[in-house]
Amino acid sequence: MSGEARTPGSPQRGGGTGPDRPGGDRRDAQGRERGAARARGAGQRSESAPSQRAKVTDPARNVAFDVLQEVASSDAYANLVLPPLLRVRGIRGRDAAFATELAYGTLRLRGRYDAIVSRCVDRPLDQVDPNVLDLLRLGAHQLLGMRVAQHAAVSETVGLARARAGAGSAQFVNAVLRKISRSTLEEWLEVISADAPDDVTRLAITQSHPVWIARAMREALVGTGRSADDLAELLEADNTAPRVTLVARPGLVSRERLAGEVTHDVRGDATTAPGRWAPTALVLSGSDPAAIPAVRHGAAGVQDEGSQLVTLAFAAVPTLPTAGAGTGGTAGDLPGAANPDERWLDLCAGPGGKAALLASLAGEQGARIVANEVAPHRARLVEQALAAVPADAVERVQVGDGRRVGVEEPGAYDRVLVDAPCTGLGALRRRPESRWRRTPGDIATLTTLQRELLGSALDAVRPGGVVGYVTCSPHLAETQLVVKDVLAGRDDVEVLDAAAAVRQVAGDDIPLADRTDVQLWPHVHGTDAMHLTLLRRRA
């Protein structure tokens, strides 16, 4: 048994009717009139106990439940688990959209729903069977977060519980969901936040974020020139499904041709719109990206617009001559001075999105790229991502520790991109399970690695060359403090104006703080919360 829910007003068992009462023996124990066949015991439903009946469940809900199970049992990411499940089971169209929203939405809002469920059961949640708790979360999301009729949300989830967890668990799920359904979302939010000691904790509970993440986000907002009052809007944006954004890789396919492929080669009601900031970005609606020829062949890919924007800005900053040029100089200032821009390095290249965009840009400019990745399986993903790039634009894909490149190849590159491993707090809307996996203890480990990678990149770039430091996290410890710590030990590096570089790509209308580094935000820019710092090794 998985526990009991105590719900006021539950119907009592017993109280059968006899032939001397109205309806005679055609009324059941609750006084409801039965058909003649069922009154004689000839109805099919009375021939087997509820636990023995055929367990037919909705395929979309089954898939969503399986995603939650896989995410919990193997630390998988939902965005990698769900698509193949949908394909294997032949779930398409509206059913696929329903399964996607049910799985992702339940993962995003797990904290909110756990707070609600905890007020509807008679024991701590860690004493509720994990499978049953996932079923309750799925039901709660249908009731409070989706446009699903109340009776359907309850009955379908109870049916899923009967099929996947047994009849006893199904009764428990039924009782809890019926209690949840008696109040609106707004009423529940008031209940679960009533005892919050401060506004940040209240927002963390109602917007389904761990409190430590909510506090870190508030600090990052203030530390990058925005108001602390943005926190509510930011956390809400984290709970909004991101748009599917394609990248049209320069020299391989234009954005206009990519849009044409969607219009002419993809069935259904697929539509596209240009991205807001990156000239390579195309927003896709109503289609599976894998159905687009340019995506299948590698000329285009799926990539967040913020990721595209910081990559384009990094590639747009000019290098300086190898020797003799002062700050702000150009190759033309020194006749005969060498100013190569021919060899680029992506230091942490997996899984390959930024590497493919960089390689396509390198191909257009007559440069070539080395893609380094420490994990062999991710290096293979990089190779796949680079498949459509002209061979002369890719020097090699190598497996190696990025922290060693600066020692092994000092001054060997004109540009080095450090897309550093990080907490991923800037992509919580895209990877909803990340917020429940990360802990404050991860910060110390990751920032040590980030400092070592950035130091290696600065050693690997030649004097006059450019280093881009990128994270998909706005956490100040992973962004400003890493850069500050690394630069404190060096006198051969200058900080460049990353905001100017981003405006050069996106236009002057993009809202950026008055800083040299750049922090993008989901609630402001509609992108992941990407950070960019640009540095130059002094010539």
Positions annotated as catalytic residues are 472
Per-residue 3-state assignment (H helix, E strand, C coil) for 137-169: HHHHHHHHCCCCCHHHHHHHHHHHHHHHHCHHH
Please give the single-letter amino acid code of residue 316. A
Closest CA to 224 of 503, 434, 535, 511: 511
Query: What is the Cα–Cα distance from 190 to 74, expressed in whole angstroms?
Result: 35
- All residues at 6 or more sequence positions from 525 whose CB lies less than 8 Å from its CB, including other chains: 276, 277, 305, 306, 510, 511
Asked whether the beta carbons of 502 and 470 are under 8 A apart, the reply is: no
The torsion angles phi and psi of 415, rounded to 5 degrees, stand at -140, 140
Instruction: Name the pairing type of β-strands 343-346 and 368-373.
Output: parallel
Which segments of 378-525 are extended strands (E)?
394-399, 413-419, 461-471, 493-495, 518-519
Task: List b or e across 226-261, with b for residues whose CB sees 16 or more CB atoms inside 10 angstroms.
Answer: beeebbbbbbebbbeebebbbbbbbbbbbbeebbeb
Closest CA to 247 of 347, 385, 368: 385
Query: What is the Cα–Cα distance from 513 to 504, expressed in whole angstroms?
Result: 15
Task: List b or e across 344-361, with b for residues whose CB sees 16 or more CB atoms inside 10 angstroms.
Answer: bbbbbbbbbbbbbbbbbb
Question: How many alpha carbons lie under 13 Å from residue 260 in its C-beta half-sphere?
Answer: 5
Question: How many alpha carbons lie under 13 Å from residue 103 in its C-beta half-sphere?
Answer: 31
